[in-house]
Amino acid sequence: MLTTLLPFSLALAASLIVVPGIIKVAYHKRLVDDPRLEDRKIHRYSVPNLGGVAVFSIFALVSCLFTSSSSLQQGNFIFAAGIII
């Protein structure tokens, strides 16, 4: 129970801290999807494009901290695919 609750709680706490900061950086650097530029957009306001960066970085952090070194070597393919995506 503790082996699943601890990584989940760490990922939750990290996402609550990191995601608002990433959103502020995206708005500050204007890395947003602006619906006024195209007619086909369905959202009304600008939407930040950096959400995947926060999710992947938190996934990488938690999986590196709570995975054994033998299974982490097999997980290199997952990390490489996530970086490419």
What pLDDT digit, counting tens, does each position of 1-60 carry? 777 799 899 999 999 999 999 999 999 998 988 888 888 888 888 889 888 888 888 988
Q: Report the pLDDT value the prediction gives residue 9, as an integer from 0 to 100.
A: 92
Please list the alpha-helical segments (H only) found in the chain: 2-28, 51-66, 69-74, 76-84
How far is CA 7 from each of CA 21, 26, 46, 48, 76, rounded to the nearest angstrom? 21, 27, 32, 27, 19
Give the pLDDT of residue 81: 84
Beta bridge partners of 47: 33
